[in-house]
């Protein structure tokens, strides 16, 4: 379809704007970055499949699709684990936190990849005609992971934060994800036929999925202590004095209410050093 070019452009752009998070020193920075790394790999794999780089009739096609589905599962479980980071059950950014995330993501990738490939190839009693196992592993498990993540975010906002406006990110993100799936699976043919194949439901679904991922980042950025983009609500920066300056390094001042040394400017002679004598 002609909408493939637009979809591919969206997939290229959707992973490009998230790498700047490394500049922000927020809670769970490494954990959320791992999620976006997986999301970037999923985008690359989807491009290879959707652009026809790997033809559907080729022998490598089932393997690439299995990798794609494995990355879907790994990304979803990584997102779920990120939902627990805000509760500080363990310190974020530590070896325990990072490797727990990596091991769980890798394990889910292997399980989903194996079930997908066995189903596509008709191995180990599975077959393309019986996809119940594949549906459970990829779709049901992923839906559970996302649901747990959403519940954790709601509990985090209601139980630990003073502000409630981050709930808007959750609500809009959930709506974007739900609408993307409904449009893709329920209205695909209707949309494609009515717009004369200029774009299809896959294009709209990709756009809404991108919006959902953007809101994941915005929620994470909103609940952290330092908001490097802009401040919203009642949060204020906390300034901390690390150490007082040495006596000789203190700045001289003309104000009498200074807490530091008295001004040397006030002790200067009243006569101006002018060649005209005044």
- Please indicate, yes or no, if residue 21 is contained in any of the structural domains: no
- Please indicate, yes or no, if residue 138 is contained in any of the structural domains: no
Q: What is the pLDDT of residues 39-66, one digit of tens each?
A: 999 999 998 998 889 999 899 999 999 9
- Please indicate, yes or no, if residue 54 is contained in any of the structural domains: yes
Q: Categorize the per-residue pLDDT at 182 as very low, low, confident or very high, splitting at 50, 70 and 90.
A: very high
Domain range enclosing 63: 30-133
Q: Check whether 271 has a pLDDT greater than 80.
A: no
Q: What is the predicted pLDDT for the residue at 29?
A: 87
CA–CA distance, 77 with 111 (Å, rounded to integer):
12
- Please indicate, yes or no, if residue 142 is contained in any of the structural domains: no
DSSP class per residue in 153-166: HHHHHHHH-S--TT
Instruction: Measure the CA angle with vertex 76, ends 141 and 7; round to 5°.
Output: 115
**Left, alpha or beta for 258 (phi > 0: left; psi -120 to 50: alpha)?**
beta
Instruction: Measure the CA angle with vertex 67, ends 176 and 132; round to 5°.
Output: 75
Q: What is the pLDDT of residues 152-177, one digit of tens each?
A: 999 999 988 888 888 999 999 999 99
Last residue of a domain, one of 181, 208, 225: 225
CA–CA distance, 247 with 260 (Å, rounded to integer):
8
Rg (CA), the chain: 28
Q: Categorize the per-residue pLDDT at 199 as very low, low, confident or very high, splitting at 50, 70 and 90.
A: confident
- Please indicate, yes or no, if residue 198 is contained in any of the structural domains: yes
Query: Considering its fold, how many domains does the chain have in total?
Result: 2
Residues 109, 43 share a domain = yes
Q: What is the pLDDT of residues 88-135, one digit of tens each?
A: 888 888 999 999 999 999 999 999 999 999 999 999 888 899 899 999
Q: What is the predicted pLDDT for the residue at 86?
A: 82
Sequence-ordered list of residues with C-beta below 8 angstroms from that of 200, at least 6 positions apart, any chain: 1, 3, 188, 191, 192
Mean pLDDT of the region 61-77: 96
Last residue of a domain, one of 193, 210, 225: 225
Mean pLDDT of the chain: 79
- Please indicate, yes or no, if residue 273 is contained in any of the structural domains: no
Residues 166, 126 share a domain = no
- Please indicate, yes or no, if residue 264 is contained in any of the structural domains: no
């Amino acid at each position: 379809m002609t909408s493939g070019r637009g979809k591919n452009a969206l997939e290229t752009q959707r992973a490009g704007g998230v790498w700047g998070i490394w500049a922000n020193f927020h809670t769970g920075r490494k954990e959320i970055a791992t999620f976006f790394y997986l999301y970037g790999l999923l985008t690359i794999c989807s491009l290879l499949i959707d652009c026809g780089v790997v033809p559907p009739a080729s022998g490598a096609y089932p393997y690439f699709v299995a990798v794609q589905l494995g990355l879907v599962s790994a990304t979803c479980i990584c997102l779920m684990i990120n939902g627990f980071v805000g509760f500080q059950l363990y310190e974020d950014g530590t070896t325990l936190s990072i490797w727990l995330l990596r091991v769980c993501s890798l394990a889910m990738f292997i399980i989903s990849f194996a079930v997908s490939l066995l189903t596509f190839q008709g191995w180990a009693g599975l077959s393309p005609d019986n996809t119940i196992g594949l549906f459970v592993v990829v779709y049901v498990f992923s839906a559970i992971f996302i649901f747990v993540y959403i519940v954790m975010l709601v509990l985090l906002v209601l139980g630990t934060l003073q502000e409630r406006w981050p709930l808007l990110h959750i609500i809009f993100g959930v709506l974007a994800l739900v609408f993307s799936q409904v449009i893709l699976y329920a209205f695909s043919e209707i949309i494609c036929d009515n717009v004369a194949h200029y774009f299809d439901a896959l294009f709209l679904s990709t756009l809404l999925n991108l919006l959902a991922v953007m809101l994941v980042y915005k929620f994470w950025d909103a609940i952290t202590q330092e908001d490097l983009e802009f401040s919203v609500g009642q949060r204020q920066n906390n300034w901390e004095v690390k150490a007082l300056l040495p006596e000789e390094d203190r700045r001289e001042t003309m104000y009498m209410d200074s807490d530091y040394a008295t001004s040397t400017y006030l002790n200067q002679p009243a006569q101006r050093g002018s060649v005209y004598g005044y």
